[in-house]
Copies of this chain bind each other. A is one copy, B any other.
């Protein structure tokens, strides 16, 4: 089925070009035309894959979310509990050039999700997945005797999820205060406090 493969391949190429454009130039400058140009595709052909801007933003966010999760998976190999949780956090906090770029997609995604139920559903599903992962790592950490906090794992997961979301905004918009080092110390100290 070469045609099908082609289609999926092209969608992936568009998604990759799109999230980078949004991250580097901003959502306003990322027009259908700019995307088409960046991959040398006709504007009309692009519309065949993505009918409108929200479908593109949705795909770009999905792409970034999947890429984050894939990196976590790759780095996890054998790690469990608190070590695994730290890897997870490191791949979400904007503490590297890549995660900083990713956060530049997250902020416009949030704004658009306010008025788009499809985007909200994608966000809700994404957060549910992360909650589950965090709770899984915490359960391993309890088994390993690595944490002893009296707080429930569910509450810890909510706190950490809120922190990781908040750092997307703080790191990009208040970068002199929420430096990469401050972000890392902030989250590391929180995880340490669970021991």
A158 lies within 8 A of chain B by Cβ: yes
Interchain CB contact (< 8 A) of A115 among B26, B124, B176, B178: B26
Question: Could you list 7 examples of A-B contacts with CB < 8 Å?
Answer: A26-B114, A26-B115, A124-B177, A162-B163, A162-B164, A169-B169, A193-B193
Q: Is the interface of A mostly helix, strand, loop or mixed?
A: helix
CB-CB under 8 A from A190, the residues of chain B are 159
| A193: contacting residue among B107, B113, B151, B182, CB under 8 A | B151
In chain A between 7 and 38, which residues have their CB closer than 8 angstroms to a CB of chain B?
A: 26-28
Residue ranges of A at the interface with B (Cβ–Cβ < 8 Å): 26-28, 104, 107-108, 110-111, 113-115, 120, 123-124, 127-128, 131, 149, 151, 155, 158-159, 161-170, 172-174, 176-178, 182, 185-186, 189-190, 193
Protomer copies: 2
Nearest Cβ on chain B to A62's Cβ, whole angstroms? 15
Residues of B within 8 A of A158 (CB): 178, 182, 185-186
With a cutoff of 8 Å between Cβ atoms, the chain B residues found around residue A174 in the complex are 120, 123-124, 127
A105 to B120, CA, bound (A): 17
A176 to chain B minimum Cβ distance, whole angstroms, is 7
A173 touches B123 (CB 8 A): yes
Q: Looking across the interface, which residue of chain B has its beta carbon closest to that of A27?
A: B111
